[in-house]
Chains A and B, each alone.
Chain A
């Protein structure tokens, strides 16, 4: 898999760690982490990652608000965003897809195929 830089935005340190572990181990991608929407936006501006993995439910600025801010920011609007969410209801999933994210990955994800799942969503060569 080509080397990619991934920004993981999640207020849960444990989830950041597990996602990083999984992506490092499977694809050896470069992982950046942020613990809030605001930090995610600023990291995205600085590092221009290839994809942002964004948790939906975060305190203060949630995933949807963060996504909107990323879309309205000329420096980050081109970065694909994949939502990571424990929400599984069909209606919510449809809503997420409607707002224009590149994909939705439901927690719990398969740690051994998370990288391939992201690559599939973004049509990255394996």
Chain B
């Protein structure tokens, strides 16, 4: 069970952490409301203990924000405010319980247990396997509606099998999971309880081998229709997974030791810098962790350890932002170590790699630190540079060693560079010399990688400054102040990998024109659906659901204008890009097309390059639009 403790009273949090840890809770401590928000929206917790009076964002506001965002985890408000009205306010803000300081630690722990138990029972669904049902709330087991009377151990065994219905459990695993560490049962005890469980299930008409023995490995629920005569891929996987689980149990301690070392490094970073030897050793630890975790299918941990390795590799002197990033990565990694081994499809050669971000923030602003934390949590491989020189090294602009990288620039460039032009909260304007250097850097960057998206956060986003930034190559300009989550949303949109080909449907009764347009667009990796008969339009349209529609005007039976009107009359298709392609060059026809909802109007004869650019432009804007939260909401 994971608990997030948000309180700025060091002595109290130390005591509470100690007490909660002694009760086997995993505790994360943060000292202000904003960090609490960042943690709670990044990690999964079972309970939040929240102080009222907090710096940056107070407990009540944080509680309200969490509830507004649909955060359902129990929240226990802890505060010195003891007025009746305060309690009401706290509970109305969304807290589940309210404890006044000073408090009795035993009472607090009891309240924590109650909240956790309540949350568990509220979320526990009935577990089913064919006709077999287990209700974790009433603890009743039925087969085909008939009650099965089980002992506590038999019940626990069955619940474990049902919760992990495809897993094989060896006797030793079952002993660990079901029996407490104070008792010393043998594997014969397991066999005896399994026999008892089978007998009781058989008595209500269940197959004897509903809990089947997998020879040499253990027990599991029997999958119906499985051909047991020959080991299937599934059997092999199950065997491998069992072996993997056993090996992980035997060796998890090594990974925990490495993680502990990295935790100490994170602590050292806040106190003083790292020696070169410490940095190298930490890098090796992170590397080994990545290898181990990846091999055991703990992919989240693998990814985080790789990022730590990368950070230690590229950073000689850690800035406060990089230190914060390191700490976030280590904390997240700690969570990832508790996952179970998985049989994953690993990163194949052609599998998508994690998206890489480079953040240049010379003033190390807190809001950029929050963007960094969010980016890391969302799986971006993030490098933070606190100086232009560090960014240039990160990009290998200055490093002659990486010549081959320059030969194939996009292969190794990050997916996006964020440049922060905000000096500070009080006075956001940068001093002229540093601003000038940063702007020069943006120009240099886009000269080296014209396709690289550069996101700029600036306090001066008036037209003139925007234009200057655009001329220098800034692709996206955000005006300060901007919420970190919004920045991340923009980053996600700008780096969103194209997961499928864009679909274009072309409707033209002239087969020659249709062929000509198809030929022009074919080399650009579009999925093209040509159609000469507009009467088949609706059937094909609803089947293909194109991302862009090209329509001729003059067609038999139904003309292009009518098709456009039909689509625009449906809210779902109001944003679909529609491009007319016509021999009519008169203004009246063009006006009519735009009045009916056309996005573009291109006259024949077709100019290849012009057509391609206009189509690409429409698609790009449409795809950015459909990914926006408003559109997602509209679509849903």
Contacts and interface: CB of A to CB of B under 8 A. Distances in A.
Interface of A: 11-15, 17-19, 21-22, 25-26, 55, 57, 59, 85-91, 94, 106-112
Contact of B402 (A22, A25, A86, A91): A91
B240 A14 contact: no
A122 to B, nearest CB: 17
B9 to A, nearest CB: 41
B247 A21 contact: yes
Contacts, number: 92
B587 interface: no
The dominant DSSP class at the B interface is: helix
Interface in B276-329: 284, 287-288, 290-292, 294-297, 299, 302, 306
Contact of A88 (B236, B288, B295, B347): B347
A21 B239 CA distance: 10
B402 A110 contact: no
A108 B295 contact: yes
11 contacts: A11-B288, A14-B251, A14-B254, A21-B247, A26-B236, A59-B284, A86-B287, A87-B287, A108-B295, A108-B346, A112-B236
A24 B244 CA distance: 13
Contacts of A14: 247-248, 250-251, 254-255, 292, 295-296
A108 B404 contact: no
B228 interface: no
Interface in B399-417: 402, 404-405, 411-412
Given A12-B291, A112-B237, 16 more contacts: A12-B288, A12-B292, A14-B248, A14-B250, A15-B291, A17-B251, A18-B247, A21-B244, A57-B291, A87-B287, A88-B347, A88-B353, A91-B405, A109-B295, A111-B244, A111-B343
A109 B353 contact: no
Interface string B250-289: 1100110000000000000000000000000000100110
Contacts of B299: 108
Nearest to B237: A112
Nearest to A19: B295
B345 interface: yes
B295 A107 contact: yes
Contacts of B294: 86, 107-108
Nearest to A110: B346
A119 B295 CA distance: 20
A89 B408 CA distance: 13
A116 to B, nearest CB: 13
Nearest to B233: A112
A86 B240 contact: no
A110 B294 CA distance: 10
Contacts of A59: 284
B243 A21 contact: yes
B348 interface: yes
B347 A22 contact: no
A18 to B, nearest CB: 5
A19 to B, nearest CB: 8
B402 A106 contact: no
B247 A17 contact: yes
B236 A15 contact: no
B348 to A, nearest CB: 7
Given A21-B240, A86-B306, A108-B344, A15 B287 contact: no
B239 A25 contact: yes
Contacts of B291: 12, 15, 55, 57, 85-86, 107-108
B297 A13 contact: no
B358 to A, nearest CB: 15
Contacts of B244: 18, 21, 111
Interface in B330-358: 343-349, 353
Q: Which residue, of A14, A22, A57, A87, has the highest number of chain B Cβ atoms within 10 A?
A: A14
B344 A112 contact: no
Interface string B214-243: 000000000000000000010011011001
Contacts of B347: 88, 106, 108
B251 A13 contact: yes
Which of B239, B251, B404, B411 has its CB near the most chain A CB atoms (within 10 A)? B251
